[in-house]
Amino acid sequence: MVKISKAGHTQRQLRVTERLTSVWAALSDPTRREILDLLRERLRTTGELADELPTSRFAIMKEILWKENKGISHRVEIGRQDV
């Protein structure tokens, strides 16, 4: 059974819309775009990202966690490092 919202949207359509909203929110911020650009080149630690950007390692960690929660990126653990 497909559930329809009051606006006539299915649950799947609402999830896709929510996901796209998250992606556009990530792309609208210049720092978030730069983080994504750097990660596209190669895997990097939060320290390496912080060295490349005018922000702290903790701010980078917060951004990465935000992206993970929105399903935009994910962390990979290599030994004791998250990349």
**10-residue mean pLDDT series, the chain (83 residues):** 62 76 76 86 89 90 80 71 59
Exposure string of 30-46, with b = 16+ CB inside 10 Å and e = fewer, is: eebeebbebeeeeebeb
In a domain, 59, yes or no: yes
In a domain, 31, yes or no: yes
In a domain, 4, yes or no: no
Domain that holds residue 66: 11-82
> How many domains does the chain contain in total?
1
In a domain, 1, yes or no: no
Per-residue model confidence (pLDDT) at position 80: 67
Contact 82, 75 (CB under 8 A): yes
What CATH number should be reported for the domain holding residue 45? 1.10.10.10
In a domain, 68, yes or no: yes
Cα(81)–Cα(83) distance, integer angstroms: 6
In a domain, 6, yes or no: no
CA contacts within 13 A on the Cβ side of 25: 13
Contact 64, 73 (CB under 8 A): yes
Per-residue model confidence (pLDDT) at position 28: 79
In a domain, 34, yes or no: yes
Per-residue model confidence (pLDDT) at position 44: 87
